[in-house]
């Protein structure tokens, strides 16, 4: 079962310069909410920003990670 | 037609409907909070839209995500383009961008939070009926 810390670490490792804040929404280890701030988001649309974060987890989204709610910004 | 009738049906539905929401359940009976919230934002703007329940056939979700390069449900398409999932639609609703994208006037007394689901204006689209023939 993925933990918020594990998700945070994987996002920050995969996206250069990213800072992530991840919460388990239900305590069940499968519904998460992540706020991700990364410099490279500056050139991307919101859809593309979310795609980058989803891409970190590939097929795990919809599988072990049932839901990953996102807020992304460049800042 | 390709040899993938499910993908063809989804692409046809996206092309045929200016505003189309792929969701879990229906606007009247959403089966997931994210889908409920997204349908509610559309209802609040009073816009007509088509809704597709992806739950009856797992191939719908699989093919939809392959087409859109978007892993989660719901997915809102406007004029053939993916606008976003629940988070983006919610952010756009609150900022007024959603009304703009849909070509409608935001209600003068638009609430800050997306409201709870109300009566839908369009009957749900039964895409799965087209898919079980093959």
| CATH number reported for the structural domain that contains residue A16 in this entry | 3.30.300.90
Structurally, chain A folds into a number of domains equal to 1
Domain that holds residue A49: 4-73
Separation of alpha carbons A6 and A64, rounded Å: 13
Residue A61 Cα, gap to closest chain B Cα (Å): 7
pLDDT tens-place string over residues A34-74 = 999 999 999 999 999 999 999 999 999 988 998 999 999 99
State the DSSP code for B27.
Answer: S
State the DSSP code for A65.
Answer: B
Taking each helix axis as running N to C, give the angle between helix B5-16 and helix B58-68, from 0 to 180 degrees, rounded to the nearest 10.
Answer: 60
Measure CB to CB from residue B71 to each of A46, A61, A71 and give the nearest one. Answer: A61
pLDDT tens-place string over residues B41-51 = 999 999 999 99
The alpha carbon of B2 is separated from its chain's Cα centroid by a whole number of angstroms, namely 24
Chain A residues with CB-CB distance to B71 below 8 A: 54, 61-62
Measure CB to CB from residue A70 to each of B65, B69, B87 and give the nearest one. Answer: B87
Q: Number of C-alpha atoms within 13 angstroms, CB side, residue B91?
A: 13
The two three-digit tokens of residue B106, written as one number? 């935001």
- Asked whether residue B134 carries a pLDDT value surpassing 50, the answer given is no
Burial track B30-44 (b if 16+ CB lie within 10 A, e otherwise): bebebbbbbbbbbbb
* CB-based contact B33:B2 (threshold 8 Å): no
Separation of alpha carbons A11 and A6, rounded Å: 9
Predicted model pTM? 0.85
* CATH code of domain B5-128: 3.40.30.10
Does the distance separating the beta carbons of B86 and A46 come in below 8 Å? no
């Amino acid at each position: 079962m993925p933990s918020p810390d594990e998700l945070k670490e994987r996002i920050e490792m995969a996206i250069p310069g990213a800072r992530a804040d991840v919460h388990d929404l239900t305590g069940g280890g499968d519904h998460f909410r992540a706020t991700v701030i990364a410099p490279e988001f500056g050139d991307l649309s919101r859809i593309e920003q979310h795609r980058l974060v989803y891409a970190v987890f590939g097929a795990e989204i919809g599988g072990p990670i049932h839901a990953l709610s996102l807020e992304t910004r460049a800042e | 037609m390709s040899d993938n009738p499910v993908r063809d049906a989804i692409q046809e539905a996206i092309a045929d409907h200016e505003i189309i929401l792929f969701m879990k359940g229906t606007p009247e009976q959403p089966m997931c909070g994210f889908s409920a919230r997204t349908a509610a934002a559309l209802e609040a703007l009073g816009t007509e839209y088509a809704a597709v329940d992806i739950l009856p056939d797992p191939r719908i979700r699989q093919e939809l995500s392959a087409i859109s390069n978007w892993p989660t449900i719901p997915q809102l398409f406007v004029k053939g383009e993916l606008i976003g999932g629940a988070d983006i639609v919610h952010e756009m609703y609150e900022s007024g961008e959603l009304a703009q994208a849909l070509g409608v006037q935001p209600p003068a007394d638009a609430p800050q939070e997306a409201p709870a689901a109300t009566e839908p204006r369009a009957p749900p689209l039964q895409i799965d009926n087209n898919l079980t023939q093959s």
